[in-house]
Amino acid sequence: MDGPHRAERMVTALVVGGLAAGAMVLALRPTNPVSRSPGPARTRHQLAPWPAWSRSAGLALAALAAGLLSPPLALAVPAIAMARRHLGSLRARRTHVRLVTRGLPDAVDLLLLGSSAGLSLPLAHAMVAPRLTSPVGEALALADRDAAAGRPRADAIVDALTPLGERALALAHLLADHLRYGVPLAPGLERLGLELRLDRRRAAEQEARRVPVRLLGPLVTCTLPAFALLTVVPLLVASLRALPT
């Protein structure tokens, strides 16, 4: 009788394990859509995400399947999913800040170039926005569409650039003051562009200083074991062979 019961338990474990694995894949799949860059020539088409309910349903199935195997696993599955979601949000926020830091100096330089060439700010705005990458280019393109729809351009620029941070807000107020009060645009853009380029340079230096820390993982897990296998292990094997039997 033990044979059939053992086979039945093995089949049940395989089914539950497969259900847990599939549910974890379903639960941990990202469902937030990725915005496409409004650049002129390089537009990436992302795959459509799964429905929003798939994450909750997959998490519930994973917790149920893990609970059948072991009750502590039923608590571990939601904890892992919540930790992954938190880490994903932190990573997305850092990526957003990095893209804004990289894109703002280019926006200021292009606006300054258009102003120096004799273009008015509405014309320069419409020409610069499609040539910038997201999220700065997307915000400027949104402001230009709102202005074309009849909204005051100054208000549209301020509202579009405010979510991008303090530096973007400083650019928005500079452009809005020019549109509302006729404040000279070129001197302010030159000063702001210098500050933004310094910020981008400092951010690049910080990223360069993080490289040695990031290399510690591959160094410890790959390079040092390979070095030990190539140098220490042959010496140990030769020494063991030289020992008297």
- Would you say the pTM of this structure is higher than 0.85? no
pLDDT at 213: 86
Domains of the chain, by residue range, sit at: 12-28+54-71, 99-205
Choice between 4 and 46, residue whose per-residue pLDDT is larger: 4
208's CB contacts (< 8 A; 6+ apart) are none
Within 10 Å of residue 220's Cβ, how many Cβ atoms?
A: 10
Q: Is the CB of residue 126 less than 8 Å from the CB of residue 110?
A: no
Average pLDDT of the chain is 76
Tens of pLDDT, residues 138-183 = 999 999 999 999 999 999 999 999 998 888 999 999 999 998 998 8
Where is 160: in which H helix or E strand? helix 153-161
Spatial separation of the C-alpha atoms in residues 200 and 208, rounded to whole Å: 12
Within 10 Å of residue 101's Cβ, how many Cβ atoms?
A: 20
Spatial separation of the C-alpha atoms in residues 97 and 90, rounded to whole Å: 11
Spatial separation of the C-alpha atoms in residues 183 and 153, rounded to whole Å: 15
Confidence grade of residue 39 (pLDDT, cut at 50, 70, 90)? very low
Within 10 Å of residue 212's Cβ, how many Cβ atoms?
A: 9
Spatial separation of the C-alpha atoms in residues 171 and 192, rounded to whole Å: 7
pLDDT at 119: 87
179's CB contacts (< 8 A; 6+ apart) are 121, 152, 153, 154, 157
Tens of pLDDT, residues 208-243 = 888 888 888 888 888 888 888 888 878 887 887 777
Supply φ then ψ for residue 105, to 5 degrees.
-60, -35
Q: Give CATH for domain 99-205.
A: 1.20.81
Spatial separation of the C-alpha atoms in residues 30 and 62, rounded to whole Å: 16
Locate 144 and state its tokens: 């230009």
Spatial separation of the C-alpha atoms in residues 200 and 227, rounded to whole Å: 38
